Amino acid sequence: MNTEITGYYKSSYIKEYKDKSTGNTVQGDLIVQIEQEIHMPNNQIKFESYDIPVDSEQSKLYQSKKRGDIVKVPCNIYAKAVSADYATLGISKAK
């Protein structure tokens, strides 16, 4: 399911992979790290951090961002594991 996650910008980096057949390092997607502030029912504040991959075309949107800026990052949310009591969600690149 495509959606946007809004939060405080922490940083971004380009993920690198090693090609198993050639041994060369290959650049992957840009990873945007954000932090969300969640207000709990008991008036406490909880912070959740997310690493969200974005397309190379969107990487220019995040190059000028500074730590603490509020950003909206498009992404795809999916269920990684589901049981009777809870579900673990995964975040991937928006499609």
Cα separation, 66 vs 59, whole angstroms: 14
CATH architecture of 2-93: Beta Barrel (2.40)
* Ranges of each domain in the chain: 2-93
Phi and psi angles of residue 44, each rounded to the nearest 5 degrees, phi first: -95, 165
Among 21-25, 28-32, 48-52, 85-89, the range scoring the smallest mean pLDDT is: 85-89
User: What is the pTM for the complete model shown?
Assistant: 0.78
Cα separation, 63 vs 23, whole angstroms: 29
Residue 60 pLDDT class (50, 70, 90 cuts)? confident
